[in-house]
A and B are shown apart, each in its own frame.
Chain A
Amino acid sequence: MMLEVLTEIQTLVGRELRKWVRSPFLMFMTMVQPVIWMGLFGKAFNLTGVFKISEDVLTQLPPDVTSRVGEVFNRIMASLFGVADMDYFSYMSVGMLSIVVLFTSMSSGMSVAWDRRLGFLNKLLAAPIKRGSIILAKVLSGVIRSVAQAVLVMFLAAALGARYSIPNLLAPLAAITTLMLLSLGLSSLFISLGIRLKSWESQMAVMNLLNLPLMFASNALYPVKMMPPWLQAVASLNPITYAVDALRQSMVYGQAADVSTLLLDMAAVSLFAAVLTTVGVMVADRGLRRS
C-alpha cells in the first residue's frame, strides 16, 4: 500500500521534472523576471550608496568629523541593512532568491490549471491512485523546481558581483532548508488554489493579486525599518520576510550573523510551511473529491 503510493508519487514527480528539464523556455521565463529585477534594480537603485561619504568630501573635512560621520553612517547601515559594509546588490540579490521561489511556486499552481484544461487531470483521476498522491507530487516537484532555480540564481548573482560571506557549511544548508520550507508552503498554497479555482482566468487574477504584495510587503528589496508602521506590521506577517532574513543571516552577514535570529526566522518559515501545507493539501483533496 505504502509502496504503491510511493510509486505513484515517483511516477508523477518524474513526469513533472522531465517536462521541466525539457522546456528550458519555461524555466527561463520564471527566472528571467527576478534576474532582470536583480540586474537593473539591484545595480541602479543603490540604496546603500546614500550612506557613503564620497572621496572629494572626505578630503575636505577634518579627520575627526569624517570619523564621526562615518560612525553615524555605519550605525544607520547596521541598523537598516544588518551590517555596516553591506552593498545594496548583495542585499537585494539574496532577497530575490525568495522571490524566485515565489514565482516558481506560482507557476506550479498554474500547471494544475493546464493539466485540468488539457484533460490530463481527468486521466489521473480515472487511474487507481490516491488523490493525495496527485497533490503531493505537484507540491514536491514544485519544491524541487523552486529550490533548483533559486540556487541557479544564487550563482548568477555571485557572478554579477554579489558578495556572499559563508561562515561554515551549516550556513548554506540552513539557506537551502529555508528555501525548501518557503517553497513547500507557497507551492501548497498555489496548488490548492489551482485545484479549487477551476478557471484559468480567475486563477491568474488571484495569483497576480497575491504576487505583488507578497513581494513588496517584505524585506526582499529594502529594509522593513524604512517602511511606515502599518506596512511593517504587514511585512512581519509575510513569510517571505522571515525567509529573506534567514538567507541574509546565513549567506551574507558573515561574522555579524546572529544564530538565534536565524533559528527564529527558520522556525517562523517552518510554521508557515506546516500550516499552509496541511490546509492546502486538505483543501486540494476536497477539491479533487468533489463534483
Chain B
Amino acid sequence: MTEAIVAEDLVKVFGKLVAVDRVWLSVREGELFGFLGPNGAGKTTTINILTTLLRPTSGRAVVGGYDVVTQAEKVRRVVGLVPQDLTVDDELTGWENLMLQAGLYHIPKHEARKRAAEVLELVGLMDAAKRKVETYSGGMRKRLELAAGLIHNPEILFLDEPTLGLDVQTRAAIWDYIKRLRKELGMTVFLTTHYMDEADFLCDRIAIIDHGRIKALDTPANLKASLGGSIIELEIADGAGHDITTLLNKVEGVGKTVFADGVYRLTVDNGEEKLPTLLETLLKTGVRVSRIVMKKPTLDEVFLEYTGRALRAETGSWEETFKQMRTIRRMRA
C-alpha cells in the first residue's frame, strides 16, 4: 500500500508558540483521514505545511511522493486545497470562479469547460453556475469552494474545516459529497474538523490533536473501543445498606466506577452480556435500581479521555477570531 502523505517529526514554531509539536503520521492512498481537535490545536498549520504554504521549522513531510520543501512545485500540482476561509470571488460567477481556478492549474480552455461542468454537477451547482457568487447562500459557496478544489482532479484533497458554520442539512450534504469523492474518484482526503460526529461519520482513521501534539491515532471504532466497550449509568432507589461502588466493582468485567450527582457511571468491557449479570447481582443483594442506561462511547468521550478536557471554545488571537467571525458571517449571508 502506497503512502499518500507522510509526516516525520514535523515541528512548526511561531515565535514562542509551538503550533505543531513533533507530529508523525502517514495516510494511505485512497484513505479518508481526519484531523480532530479544538480551534487553535494546530490543524490548519499542519495543513498549511502539507500544502506548501508554510515551511516546517523542522521535520519532513512527503505528499504524493514529493518533499513539501524541496519539491514544493510538484506537491502543488498533485494536491487540492479547500481552505477554511471562503475564497471564491463574490463579483464573479460560479463558472468564472472555476475557470479562474482552472487557469491557475494550467488546464487548457476546452478541457477546463468539461471539468468545470463535471465538478459543478458533482456538487449540484450546475443551475447556479451563471450567477454571481454574491447571490449564493453559505452552503452554495462552500460547495463551489469544494468544486474549485477539485477542478484539476487532485490526487490528494485537503479540506480545512469543510462544514464550519454550516447548518445541519448543508453539513449532511457536504458529507455526502466528500463520501462520493472517495467512492467515485478514489481520492485521498485529508480533512480537519472540530466536530466529533463529522470525524466519526466520515473518516477511516482519525488523529486527535491538541496543543500541536497528536494524542491518539486510530480508526474511530478502535478509539472508542479503547475506552472499554460500553458505559453503564445506574441510579439506585434503595441501597439496602450496601456500599454500591464496592458491590459493582466485584462484578467481573467492570472497569472503573465513578459516582457523581447520584449516578454511578461504569465502564464495562462487553456491556450487552454484562448488563444482565450486573442487574442480577444487585437484585440478589436487595438493591433497588430506579434507572439504568447503557451507551456506547462517542468520540466526545474519546476526546475527553485523551486530552483531559472537552473541546474548548475558541481562545485564539484577535485576528483569528475576526477571521472566523467573518467566515461565519459570509456563510450566513
Chain A residues packing against B (C-beta within 8 Å): 4, 7-8, 10-12, 14-15, 18-19, 22-23, 117-120, 122-129, 291
Contact = CB atoms under 8 A, between A and B. Distances in A.
B55 interface: yes
A125 to B, nearest CB: 5
Given A128-B104, A291-B55, 13 more contacts: A4-B106, A11-B100, A22-B92, A118-B86, A122-B87, A123-B81, A125-B52, A126-B53, A126-B81, A127-B101, A127-B104, A127-B105, A128-B76
B105 A18 contact: no
13 contacts: A11-B103, A14-B103, A15-B89, A18-B91, A19-B92, A23-B91, A119-B83, A120-B87, A122-B81, A122-B87, A126-B79, A127-B76, A127-B104
Contacts of A119: 83-87
A114 B32 CA distance: 33
Contacts of B53: 122, 125-126
Nearest to B319: A199
A126 B81 CA distance: 7
B105 A22 contact: no
B85 A7 contact: no
A102 B307 CA distance: 54
B148 to A, nearest CB: 8
Contact of A15 (B79, B81, B85, B100): B100
A117 B73 CA distance: 24
Contacts of A127: 76, 101, 104-105
B300 interface: no
B234 to A, nearest CB: 50
B238 to A, nearest CB: 61
B51 to A, nearest CB: 5
Nearest to A10: B103
A28 to B, nearest CB: 15
Contacts of B54: 291
A120 B55 CA distance: 19
Interface in B68-88: 73, 76-77, 79, 81, 83-87
A117 B87 CA distance: 10
B104 A118 contact: no
A137 to B, nearest CB: 11
B105 A128 contact: yes
B10 to A, nearest CB: 15
A126 B96 CA distance: 19
A122 B81 CA distance: 10
Interface of B: 48, 51-55, 73, 76-77, 79, 81, 83-87, 89, 91-92, 96, 100-101, 103-106, 323
Contacts, number: 68
A264 B53 CA distance: 45
A118 B91 CA distance: 14
Contact of A118 (B77, B87, B100, B103): B87
Contacts of A12: 103-104
B268 to A, nearest CB: 47
B327 to A, nearest CB: 9
A126 B51 contact: yes
A117 B96 CA distance: 21
B46 to A, nearest CB: 14
A7 B76 contact: no
Shortest beta-carbon contacts, A-B, top 9: A11-B103, A119-B85, A128-B76, A127-B104, A126-B81, A119-B87, A22-B91, A128-B77, A120-B87
A111 to B, nearest CB: 12
A26 to B, nearest CB: 10
Contacts of A10: 103
Contacts of A23: 91
A123 B84 CA distance: 11
Contacts of A124: 104
Given A119-B84, A119-B87, A128 B106 contact: yes
A14 B91 contact: no
Contacts of B103: 7-8, 10-12, 14
Nearest to A21: B91
Nearest to B85: A119
A16 to B, nearest CB: 10
Given A11-B104, A122-B53, A127-B105, A18 B96 contact: yes
Contacts of B101: 127
A291 B85 CA distance: 20
Contacts of B73: 128
Give the interface centre of A19, A125, A291 by most chain B CB atoms within 10 Å: A125
A15 to B, nearest CB: 5
Contacts of A14: 100, 103
Nearest to B48: A122
A7 B106 CA distance: 7
B157 to A, nearest CB: 12
Nearest to A119: B85
Contacts of A18: 91-92, 96
Nearest to A128: B76
A122 B79 CA distance: 14
Most B-side CB within 10 Å, residue of A7, A18, A19, A128 = A128
A121 to B, nearest CB: 9
A23 to B, nearest CB: 6
B3 to A, nearest CB: 21
Contacts of A15: 89, 92, 100
A130 B89 CA distance: 21
Nearest to B14: A291
B183 to A, nearest CB: 25
Contacts of B51: 126
